[in-house]
Amino acid sequence: MHELSVINNILKVVLKHAEDHKVKKVVAVHLQVGELSDLEDQWMQQYFDYLAKDGIAEAACLVIERVPVVMKCSDCGMSHAINIKEDKSSMCPECGSTNNTIVSGREYFIKNLEAI
Ligand SMILES: [Zn+2]
């Protein structure tokens, strides 16, 4: 039920924003989700529909954009984005070190709202 609490947080922000801007209806929520996140699009939309029911964000569409994972090399300090599906190695493109740590890729945030 990890998604449920995430969506609950997202919805809170959406509703607060909608209230501040006096919108009548939220039609779409654009989200950026790190590629390493275990949030699944399908579940996110289902939970959103469930939680947003009877509110101004009811039936809003979630537009989910996956953002690449960023690694930072512990040896030379270079940051680089990797394609997690194609790029299995996490070698630093600068110095070839495999001593890399993930800086981002698990986070999510609201990029934009479409409202009327
Ligand atoms: Zn390096």
pLDDT, one tens digit per residue, over 7-26 is 999 999 999 999 999 999 99
What is the residue-wise DSSP string for 70-92? EEEETTT--EEEE-TTT------
- Say how far apart CA 77 and CA 16 lie, in whole Å: 39
Counting Cβ atoms within 10 Å, is residue 20 exposed (0-12), middle (13-18) or buried (19+)? exposed
What mean pLDDT do residues 47-51 have? Answer: 97
C-alpha of residue 106 to centroid of ligand 1, in Å: 22
pTM: 0.82
What mean pLDDT do residues 96-112 have? Answer: 92
- pLDDT at residue 84, as a whole number: 73
Comparing 5-9, 10-14, 37-41, 56-60, the range with the smallest average pLDDT is 37-41
- pLDDT at residue 76, as a whole number: 97
Assign 65 a pLDDT band (cuts: 50, 70, 90).
Answer: very high
- Say how far apart CA 72 and CA 40 lie, in whole Å: 26
Tell whether the model's pLDDT for residue 97 goes beyond 90.
Answer: yes
Q: Where are the alpha helices (DSSP H) in 1-116?
A: 2-20, 41-52
User: What number does CATH give the domain 2-115?
Assistant: 3.30.2320.80
Residues with CB under 5 A from ligand 1 (ion): 73, 75-76, 78, 92, 94-95, 97
C-alpha of residue 23 to centroid of ligand 1, in Å: 48
C-alpha of residue 97 to centroid of ligand 1, in Å: 5
